[in-house]
Structure 1
Amino acid sequence: MWTLQDAKNKFSAVVDAALTGRPQEVTRRGKLAVVVVSATEYKRLVAEETAHRESFAEHLMAFPGTEIGRADVKPRDVSF
């Protein structure tokens, strides 16, 4: 794990480590901020996520139920 300042000072080492297949975590103010991964790993992760994602239309069509009931409410009296 690298602090942001160390990662900036030794960016080549961060990139080299990520290229060897070891994701590099970088913290800012003591909290995990980013993870540096190789471009190959990033593309693999994106492709894997996209492969399992359904389209918005498929999501809507998967709605459980055929009809949505309406509330039984009476309008209120309005006088002008």
Structure 2
Amino acid sequence: MAEWQVQEAKARFSELVERARTEGPQTITRHGRKRAVLLSIEDYRALLSRQADVRVLLLGGPKVGDFGIQRGSDTGRKIVL
């Protein structure tokens, strides 16, 4: 993934957009730290299409009746009161 400094990204924005389209995501840095990523619209749409619906995730989990919980036969230690 190519990296661009903010100043360079501003000055060459059209090229940045074109490279995002042709070469993939472009990282933008500020003071040497990664701050943003520019994606093509195709990459963005692909990313959105892979998002799972939270409702489906929650409803698709294990059902309460599916748990086979067994209690051990150990009764614990004896305590003198």
Give the equivalent residue in structure 2 for 1:30. 32
**Gaps in structure 2 of 5+ consecutive residues:** 66-81
Identity value in percent: 30
Aligned length: 63
**TM-score, length basis structure 2:** 0.63
Name the structure 1 match of 2:55. 55
Equivalent position to 2:13, from 11, 14, 20: 11
**Which sections of structure 1, spanning at least 5 residues, go unmatched?**
67-80
2: CA distance, partners of 1:23 / 1:46: 15
Deviating above 4 A after TM superposition, structure 1's stretches of 4 or more consecutive aligned residues are 60-66
Rounded to whole Å, the distance in 2 between the matches of 1:5 and 1:36 is 15
Task: Say if 1:2 and 1:25, in contact at 8 Å, map to a contact too.
Answer: yes
